[in-house]
Structures are given as C-alpha cells and as structure tokens.
Structure 1
Amino acid sequence: MSYSKQFIVGAMITGALSSSPVLFAQEMSETALNVEIEGVMTDYYGMATPLDETDYTLPLDFIIRVRQEIDEYTLLGSSGPTTSFGDVDLTLEIELLDANGEVFYSDSQTTVYPQSNECIWGAPITTVEDVPIWVDAQNSAYNDALRLCVQTKDFSSIYKLFELYVGVFEPWSYGPTSDVEENLVANGPERSVYQLNAEGYPEFVLGENVQVVEFINAQHDLTDIGDPYAEPDESLYVDFIFTGYTTRIQALINDADDDGIADEVDQCDASLLDETVSFAGVDSGVTNVVDANGCSVMDHYAACEAEQQGSGFLGYSGASYCEQQVAYQLYRNGLIDYADVRALRNALN
C-alpha cells in the first residue's frame, strides 16, 4: 500500500510494550499540531554539512518548525510501541542560529504530489523508483516520542529526506553528547512529548519541554542507481545529522502579515511594520509597536490618512484632527508613554 505522505508516532513506556500509543504524562496539557521547537544543537556529523565552511562552534541554538495539514488522517497500524499515521501534509523547517541569534543556515522540505513518500520500513535500493527509508526508532524505554518524516524524490532522480525525532535518538545515533542529554537518557524527561487529541491524533505538548532531539537532512542524486555509467551530481549531496535537546515548544499561528497576531483576530491584515514610526521621512524614534488587535502605531496613523482621503478634503497639509488624537488614544490604552506622545506630535508637525 502506498501513501503520498506519512507521519510516524512512537510511544515508549517502561515494561511491557503496548500496541497503541500510551501517554507518558497523565495530566492534560496545552497542545498544538503546528509548532516551533527551540533547542540546542550539541553535536553533528555527516558530509557536506552547513558547518563545513563556517567558523561556528558548538553548541548552537536551533529552531525547527512543524506545519501539518490534515483533512482526515489514516491510521496505518501499529508495530510494538509504534503507531503510524498517513494522509498528512507535512512541512519541516530548520534554522541554525549564530552566537548573535542570527540565522546562518535554513532549509525546508514539504510533501509533494504525486511522488510516493513513505517513511516506513522498505526494501533496499535496487532501482531509481525505490526510495531509501530509515527504520523507525525503537531504542527508548522511558518516554513517548514523535518521529516526523518528509521524504521525496522528484521526477529526475533527486532524493531528499528530512527526519525529526523528538524524545528519542534514532537507532544509529551516536547518543548523548551533553550533560542535559545524558540526564534525559538516564532519568527520563519531566514532560510528555505529545498527547492525543479528540480525534486520536498526536499533538505536541507546549511550554518548556526538554527532550532529546535528532534532525536528519539528506539529499542525494540517484542518477547512478541501476546505471553504472551514470555520473551523479555531487554538488547536490547533503548528509547532515545533528543531535541535541529541545528547550521550548510553542504553537505556530496563522499570521499572514507577520505581526505576531493570529489572522483570525487581526484587524489590520497588512500591518506597516517599520521599526520606528515616521511621517513623510521624519523619524519620530518611537517604536512601532503592535496592539492586541494586530494594528501597529503606523497602522493607526494610516487609517487617519485613509479617512482624510475618503472625505475629499485634501487641501490642508497639516496634521488632521484624527492624527492629532492617535497618540493620546494609544497613550490612554497603555501602548506608548507620554514621552512617545511628544515625539510623535513633534514629528507629525
């Protein structure tokens, strides 16, 4: 049976193994399907890695984003402590940060159609059509764990794999390389990785959540598979695996204008997000903060300009009554202080 995408869940418990997912923590916690995972990379290995041409040294902070779209998932079955889910559109994004918190490496991978994309047990490569797979992790007896996999092969011969383990190292891992990871392996984590939602699908447990983590990024040109005279493009080769631990898992929101406010409550769906508030090139120096409704300070002033244009009175070149009142309203709402009010008034006039 072939599926276009797949999501693997591993549930590990001490003692006898169950054929269905078992929660590590009994208390219910806030959970989310789409998340941003923050953590620390403590070790990496492979060839053609992002660190090969840099001066960065470990440890390094990372951010991994998980985005899933599920109309109706398929329960593919269970094997020991592992339960597999199919029919999931999955995107994995990875960012590595330098000592200043700046992103120096990023990549992403998304399920595509109509390419078969099975991240489960399978036969070894014998033809271009056979996509290599990783055996699911089964080497932890203290915690539940999630394994998420995006695996694609395009219509030529380029094979790409993103694979994320949270709560367990994959079977061929070198294991823990920091005191934090060693403690997790020896004593287990304090929280669960996931809980099942009302539909029986696993969602990440949010908040401060320290778990072992492993991320695999592999890209290969399979041109030479089945053709001994073919020459694969070595420039496409990536083989990068890192291990470490998570520190926090937080929910991702739909935020089209990237102002930090969810689209469903955002009253300004295309916010002006300049760092400071300026008028016709005059910088007030006031931080262009965003209120709880998703409107920045500059959005409020822009609304006044739109109101003035709609009125038909465009001959007056000074600040309108609406613009004069914006700063005072923001001050009353606690968004700015009185020094900001004066700075905005001076820049506006």
Structure 2
Amino acid sequence: MSASQPLRIFVAGHRGMVGSAIVRQLKRQGGVQILTASRCELDLTDQAAVQAWFRESEVDLVYLAAAKVGGIHANNEYPAEFIYQNLMIEANIIHAAHLAGVQKLLFLGSSCIYPKHAEQPMREEALLTGTLEPTNEPYAIAKIAGIKLCESYNRQYGRDYRSVMPTNLYGPNDNFHPENSHVIPALLRRFHEATRQGDNEVVVWGSGKPMREFLHVDDMAAASVHVMELDTTTYQANVQPMLSHINVGTGTDCTIRELAETVAKVTRFQGKLSFDTSKPDGTARKLMDVSRLQSLGWESTIGLEDGLRDTYQWFLAHQENFRS
C-alpha cells in the first residue's frame, strides 16, 4: 500500500449498535476506507467464506464488533446460540485476519467476562479468578476465548491484536425487542408505551437494587478508535502478554431503580414504578475499573441522562421498526 492510499478498515458487525457507532466515528475522523459486509453478503460463522473474503479484500485493520448479544432472558433461553455463534465469529475473523497478513485488530468483549463476585470496581487482573454469573456464562466464555485468541496470535505470530472490554452499552441502533433486549432499551420501550397508553404503573424486572454502569455507544466507539490508534510501544507498555485487554466504561454506576427513575423522567412517565422480585437480578454490582484506559488518555464524555435522551430520540425516529 502506498502512502497516498487510505487505510482499508474492516468493521465486522457494522449494522449493530457498536459497529455502526465505530463506522460513524471513523467517518468523522476521515482519511480511511471503511469495508463492511452484511449477513447476506458474508456469513461470519462460515470459516471458508470468511477466509475467502479476507483474501479478496486487502484489509489493513479490523474492528471485530460482530457478536450475538442479548439480555438476561435471551441468554437464559438461547445459551447454545450465544456460545456457538460468538465462538465461530471471533475464531473465523481472527484466524482469517492472521492468514491474510493483517497486523492490527481490535476485539470487542464484554464486562461479563469477570467473575460474579469479583472485587468492585473490576480490574483487568480479575479475569479467570472466579466463577462466572450463571445467567450469561456461555456468552462470557465465548468472549474470554476471544481475548485469549488475540493473546495467542500475538504470542505465537507477533500480531498486534488488542481487546477492549466495555461495560453495559446503550444508544442508537440498540435492540428494542420487548423480551430479548438489554435493560436500557427494554425500559425505554416499556416506559414509552406506558406513557403513550396512559398506564398508571410500570413493572421493572428484579428488585431494583443491583448496581450497573452504563456507557453510551458513541463513547465506546471513540474509546475503541483511541485504543486502536495508540502506538505499539505505548499500548504494550500498559498491558501484559497474558493480560492484554483494557476496560472501557465511565467509572460510575447507579442502581436499576435509579436508572428506571431516569428513564421515567426522559419518557415523561407520570405513573408509579413497581419491581417484580420473582425475576432474576443477575450480579449484584458491575462496575469497571477504568484507570488503565484513563492513563492512556481517554475518558467518557456522555452523561447518563443526556445519553438516554439521545437514545430515546433515536427510538422515536425509528419506532416503526419496533412493532413486534
């Protein structure tokens, strides 16, 4: 590639919430050629197809944002799909990138990789030190495997494959399915419909006591590009060969009750909140230690209420797509 040619960057999962945000971030920065492939164009669980695509596409960098994701209900109902599809996607892309000579890749994981009872806030060193949360163990194991794939190709082949572990994400292009979505889109939709129908009450799953950290997806995209653009010396000075991932989050959390109250404010719901304690709470607290990322020069900029307002406006503009 000559100096005048832009970098050819493959964003796997470009139609998803995180992938689309990374595409927006890269377009804002400019100077690159973004490569994408929809599901009908490329089945990422098909090893031969992925390798053929890489051979033909002359990729320089990869952002691996493709994944099967969902909330507690979806993870409980479809564990086989969650572990199989995520393992296949990451293994196929990472190996195909290596075979094609791609030197730099960024793998996007999840905070669920950490043990259920990890010390809070969760540091990168907590990985593999305890038992995982049972409700999303298959998904978490797949994401841990992705980290170890990157580490292994770095160790054996000298690649520069990096991993970032985001906290709970939300934002435009999220999944607003009434049963298979994460907590923020589920609550936004539930409160929106209650406001529209004039309901007097909204029921929230669980006790409302668990504490969670939430990061707007545009912040996640900015952090991902920031980590990818760190020079090799700086990056390697802040990670270890067997501890190569970096947490991405805000460093602050709130209770699910506080989240629901903020969602009610954003959607202008005037009724009362109640909590269904027969539904699972999941882990009591999940807060990321983001000191490593901060030492590398990045901090989040989008507050929760502002981020929820942005996400709700996106939902209102696209709600015709969420009839089911």
| TM-score, normalised with respect to structure 2 | 0.24
Higher-strand-fraction structure: 1
Higher-helix-fraction structure: 2
Larger Rg: 1
| TM-score, normalised with respect to structure 1 | 0.23
